[in-house]
Amino acid sequence: MRKVAIIGVGMTEFGEHWDKSFRDLTAEAGVRAMEDANLAGTKIDALYGGTMAAGRLIGQEHITALIADHMGLNPIPATRVEAACASGGVALRQGYMAVASGIHDIVVVGGAEKMTDVPVNDAAAALGGAGDQEWELFLGATFPALYALMARRHMVEYGTTEEQMAAVAVKNHLNASMNKYAHFQSKVSIETVMKSKVVSDPLKLFDCSPISDGAAAVILAPLEMARQFTDTPVEILASAQASDTLALSSRKSLTELRATKVAARKAFEQAKLAPADIDACEVHDCFTIAEIMAVEDIGFFPKGAGGKATAEGETAIGAKIPINTSGGLKGCGHPVGATGVKQAVEIAWQLRGEAENGRQVKGAEIGMTHNVGGSGATCVIHVMKRAD
C-alpha cells in the first residue's frame, strides 16, 4: 500500500444555481482543483464521481461519463459512486484505494448534485430513497421525521434540550458566515432557531440542512510524487467505512450511529491516533441532532454529553475540538453527492493554513471528515495530516 496525498482541491459556491447546470458545476470544481494542483488533464488516470440522485433530480444517468466527456478527460475510466448522502465520501475512499493500491497514480475525485431544479416535494422523495423505501418512506417517514425520532430519544435518555440542538445551528451559521462558498452566510441566534417553523417535532426549520446545488473536487496522488505538483500536500492517514441497518426500526439504539462508531474506531487504529489528536473535524450535520450524535460516536465527548458540550462552546473554532469550520451541511449547504468531497476540501484548507476570513484553526496539523449516508446505514471517515 502506497501513501496517498491530496495535491489539489476546488469547489463551487453551494446554494441555488439557477444559471448553472450539473455539468457546469462539476467542471468548475474540477478545473479549480486541477489549477490548484498545477496539473493538466492529460496527467489524470481515473475519475471517481459521487452523486446520489441525478436520475431523479435532473433526469441524467451515466453521470461520470458526462463529466469525463464535458471536461475533456476521455478515454480515462470514470466511475460513479452512490451511497446516498455519503456518495462523495465513498468516492474519495475509492479514489484513495485506487492510488494506494498502485492501480492508478493521479486520480480526480468529484462530488456534485443539482437539487433545486425540481419542486421541493420531488427532492424530498428522492432523498427519502436513502432510507427504507418500503418500511419508512412509503409509510410517511421522511428524513426529518426519522432524525426527529433520534432527537426525541436522545432527549429522553440524556436530557438533551432543544436549545442545545439550536446551539449547533448557531455555531455552524457563524462559521458559514466566514465562508465565501457557503449557502447561508448570515448568523442566527438561539431565539431565531427556536422560533422557526416546526418541521418534525422537535426539529425546526433551522435544525435542518438545506436543499443545495454544488460540486467539489480533490486530486489524489502517491505521497512520493506529491511535491511534483504542490508544496503543501495533505496526506490521507486513514480511510474507513462501515454499514448499519437501513431502517431505524431494525437498530438496537436510536441514540447512536453504529456505523460511525465502527468506522471511527477503524480509522483511529489505521492512523494510530485518538480523538484527542484531531485538530479540526467536518461531521455530517444533516440535522442538528446528527452533529451531537456524531461528536459522541466518534469519541470527542462521552455519550449524552454532545449537546451540553456544544452549548458550552467546546466545538467552536479555537475551542477543544472545532467542528464544521466550513459551516457544515447546516450552514455551508448540502448538495448531497458533493458533501463528502467538500468536507475533504475544507480540511485540506485547514491543514494548509488557507481557511479564510477568520475560520482558520490555529496550528491545525491533523483533521478528520465524517460522512453519513441516509439515517446512518453508511458511514465513511478519513483522517488527514499536513505532510512533513
Q: How many CB atoms lie within 10 A of CB 42?
A: 9
Based on the residue annotation, tell me whether 334 is a catalytic residue of this protein: yes
Q: Say what the pTM is.
A: 0.97
The continuous run of DSSP H or E covering 267 comes out as helix 258-271
CB of 276 closer than 8 Å to CB of 130: no
| CATH superfamily of domain region 4-119+211-234 | Thiolase/Chalcone synthase (3.40.47.10)
Examine domains 4-119+211-234 and 131-210+237-386 and report if their fold is the same. yes
Residue 139 has pLDDT above 90, yes or no: no
pLDDT in tens, 72-91: 999 999 999 999 999 999 99
The structural domains of the chain, with segments of one domain joined by +, span 4-119+211-234, 131-210+237-386
Catalytic residue among 85, 208, 286, 332: 85
Q: Which CATH architecture has domain 131-210+237-386?
A: 3-Layer(aba) Sandwich (3.40)
- For position 134, what pLDDT does the model report? 86
- For position 120, what pLDDT does the model report? 86
Residue 184 has pLDDT above 90, yes or no: yes
Residue 294 C-alpha cell reads as: 456524531
Catalytic residue among 17, 183, 334, 382: 334
- Confidence class for position 269, pLDDT limits 50, 70, 90: very high
pLDDT in tens, 91-126: 999 999 999 999 999 999 999 999 999 988 889 888
Q: Report DSSP letters for 76-110, one per residue.
A: S-EEEE-BTBTHHHHHHHHHHHHHHHTS-SSEEEE
- For position 172, what pLDDT does the model report? 98
Angstrom distance (rounded) from CA 13 to CA 11: 7
Angstrom distance (rounded) from CA 273 to CA 260: 16
Q: Which candidate, 222, 233, 215, places its Cα nearest to that of 30? A: 215
R_g (Cα) of the chain, nearest Å: 19
Residue 133 has pLDDT above 90, yes or no: no
Q: What is the DSSP letter of 386?
A: E
Angstrom distance (rounded) from CA 222 to CA 203: 44
Q: Residue with C-alpha cell 475544507?
A: 346
CB of 4 closer than 8 Å to CB of 100: yes
> Is residue 15 left, alpha or beta, with left meaning phi > 0 and alpha meaning psi from -120 to 50?
left
